[in-house]
Structure formats: structure tokens, C-alpha cells
Structure 1
């Protein structure tokens, strides 16, 4: 039989002591590492190293970036960990142009603010400048010299109540139809204060009313698609929708060019 090697206790004691010492050293290094990490975190949190150094703003077109940052009340002395996102959002949403806000921290010291503004549904011209009208009815003071063509020019609305009603209807329109409108003129009469006339980018005119305008305007693309490409005239979207040609002879009454839809 093979003899087992017997190790005396005297030989094993130094090895046991060495193993215990290594284990103790590893444990000490682990605790020291945790300690220094905690100290570093505390120093970081309590020092200017954790203050906001960069604020980015996206999604804004009507309101300036500097204005958004000012309204947020965030500064380079704000600790990034003490930011109350809800409070920052509410501060910015006090601006009537802003529909919604998202605020995110990006470590180590950046704050990202994403703005969603109310859609521009029109412009009014005052003293040579074009002022955007937003979907919530707010008119933004601007120094624009043109309307940019991204929303119709709204003309002649001398009474705010009717302008608000018109704005509300424009907000309901699909963007594809809104982009077809060049100008909207308020044409009130004693019988109908809601009467309006539209000039379209495709050369047609529209005779209609503010009341239920968005709903009635839905038929416009369908009517235009059924007309000859050379036809130009007025599309009526009142009680009934029909087309009246500019070439119509006034003495003829209803002609083939005036087709009820």
C-alpha cells in the first residue's frame, strides 16, 4: 500500500497564518475601497463638481433658448442632484407658448430640456411684422418680416372672440389641409358674423363659415380632386359643398362649371 505523507502541525501553522493574513489584507483593501468611494461621492455631492455646467434646450422655435433656461431657474450653482424636475417643468410651462416639457439629468453635470410648443395655426400682421398665432389661441409677439409660409395669414379679425373661434377650428384641421391655406379673411355680415373667405395655395377660393369649419373643410381635397386641373373658382362649404367657376357667366345662373358636391 502507498503510504500517505503526513504533514506535521508545525509545518502547517506558517501556511495557515499566511493564508489568514492574505484574507485579512483582501478584506482590508475591500473596506478601504468602499470607504474611499463613499468619501469621493460625499465630496462630489457637496462640492461644485456636482453643479450644473451645461443646459441644452431642444424643440423650441417660438421661444428662445435663453428664455427657457431663465424660466427653468436652473443656474451654474444648482446641484444636479437637488433638481426638482416637476418644479422645473411647471416653471417653464408658465410660458403660454409651451405645451409640454421633459427634463433629464445627464451625468456628470448636464441637464437636457425638451420643449413641445403649441402648433402655429396662423399669423396676423401688425405694424409690418408677422405675429404667430398658436393652437391655444396665444398670439406671440414677433419681429418676423414674413410668415414663413408654414401657416395661413389671418386677416380682418377685429373681434377677439371670433379670432379665438377661428384659431380653435384651425387647431382641429389636419396639417395637410392647413398647409393648403394661404389667407383667411373675416367677412362678417349682419346675417352671418361667422362668414369667412379663404385663398388657397392651389389657386382656389373657399367660401365658408367659422362654425364647424374644420369639419366642413375635410371635403376640400375630395372636391379639388374631381375638378379639371385648369379649373379655378370658389368652393362653397356652407350648407352644401359645391364648386363655382371664376369663368361663370353671371347671366347664366348655375352652369356645368358649378357642380354640387
Structure 2
């Protein structure tokens, strides 16, 4: 055998040894998961997020199915976007953003927490811990599954009002009421209510109400109601 062939054979053998050694090293406990970090969870608990991945500490970082973990997490209604990634040598990192709860809707004997487009995020029996406005006067006809969209037009119109409301007003918005005749009235936590008129008027009138509240010199706590249902200047009533 020539020196050239012998050298080539030794090189191939060395490469194979390196590949096999690396493959064995990849399976070693050095790459076992010792930490699973969750970034971005607010409504969901860290342990709840980790359990959804079906990945546990002690598993080999190379053997976990990242694609499957992402898909499992995306099935949860609260999770909007998610990215699961390996951080060598022994950490799994889960980065996620959650949907934002916008309002609560009454359904049967429960309350449905919904995001801006009307998707159900969760059901709750207790409103005490829910610090977002409740939609009244319009109910869901039947209970639907987490992650599904509400179809009732009256509720979607009320949600559109919540979506138009800037944070400084939304933070004191307690109720959006859809009356029997289709008019919309919003209530603030201080008792002030704003009569927005029909669904067709409500969006534009909510913008007018916000401008008006920002312009008024008086403390809004002194206002009983603002009526924007009619043409012309708004009607402002002071006192209770």
C-alpha cells in the first residue's frame, strides 16, 4: 500500500473517531437539561408553561423535540407567539407573548375573558380578580371552547369600543352596556356613564367623549353623565 493511500486511510479513520466521539458526547449527561426558563409569562404560571411542552429536566437537550414543544404551546389560547430554543450546554428557554384580555362577557353562569378580536381566553366564576371591563346587556348564546371566536355582533361592537379606548380611560372603564334598543353606554369606575348612542354612532362618539374628557377643566368625578346620542353639543350633567 502506498504512503498516500495509507495517509488517506488514517485521515478517514481519525474523522470517524471524531464523529463517533462527538456523537457519544452529545448523548452524555453534560447536555442533560438542568434548567428550563420561561420568559414573558404573566397570566400563565411558569410551571404550567413548562408542563405544556412535555419536556422535563434531565432529558438530553439534543433529544427534545423543539418543533413539537412549540406546537403544543401554541395550542393554549393565552399564548400568542412562542419560541422554544436550546441554550447549550443544559438550558431550554421558552420565550412567549400572551394575548391581552380586553373584556369579560357573561355566558350562562360563568364569565368569559376575551381578547380584542373576541377569542375566548378562559372562563372564570370570580370577577373579583378580573380588572377589565365587563360587557353587559348582550350575552353569548352558548358556551364555546377556549380559543374560539365569539360571533354575536352586539358583543363584537362592545369590544370595538374597548379597543378604541386609550389606556388612561380604559384603566377606569368598568362596564360597556349594550341596551335592548342597541344603544351603547359605557360606565367608568367613578360612576360617570357616557351614552354613545347606536352601534353605528358609538365608535365615533367614543372618540368625541375621549377628546371631551381630556379637554374638560373640571374633575370628571363631578360629572354624572355625558350624552352624545344627538346632533349638536354633548349634554353634560353634573352631580348624581
Contact 1:130 1:142 in 2 (8 A): yes
How far apart, in 1, do the equivalents of 2:52 and 2:117 lie? 20
Contact 1:131 1:143 in 2 (8 A): no
How far apart, in 2, do the equivalents of 1:214 and 1:171 lie? 10
Contact 1:130 1:147 in 2 (8 A): no
Provide the secondary structure at the position in 2 that maps to 1:49.
Answer: helix
Contact 2:172 2:189 in 1 (8 A): yes
- 2:51 aligns with 70
Q: Which has the higher contact order (CA 8 A, sep 6+)?
A: 2
Structure 1 residue 185 and structure 2 residue 177: aligned? yes
Over 3 Å counting, the alpha-carbon distance change for 1:90 and 1:247 in structure 2 is: same
Structure-2-length-normalised TM-score: 0.69
Matches within 5 A, 1:160-175: 161=152, 162-175=154-167
Contact 1:137 1:168 in 2 (8 A): no
1:204 deviates by 2.0
Provide the secondary structure at the position in 2 that maps to 1:81.
Answer: coil
- 2:31 aligns with 50
Unaligned runs of 5+ in 2: 1-13, 141-150
Unaligned runs of 5+ in 1: 1-31, 249-261
How far apart, in 2, do the equivalents of 1:212 and 1:88 lie? 46
Contact 2:176 2:184 in 1 (8 A): yes
Structure-1-length-normalised TM-score: 0.65
Structure 1 residue 81 and structure 2 residue 52: aligned? no
Name which one, 1 or 2, has greater alpha-carbon Rg.
1
Structure 1 residue 244 and structure 2 residue 236: aligned? yes
Moved more, 202-211 or 178-187: 202-211
**Count of aligned residue pairs for this structure pair:** 211
Contact 2:31 2:62 in 1 (8 A): yes
Over 3 Å counting, the alpha-carbon distance change for 1:215 and 1:63 in structure 2 is: farther
Provide the secondary structure at the position in 2 that maps to 1:80.
Answer: coil
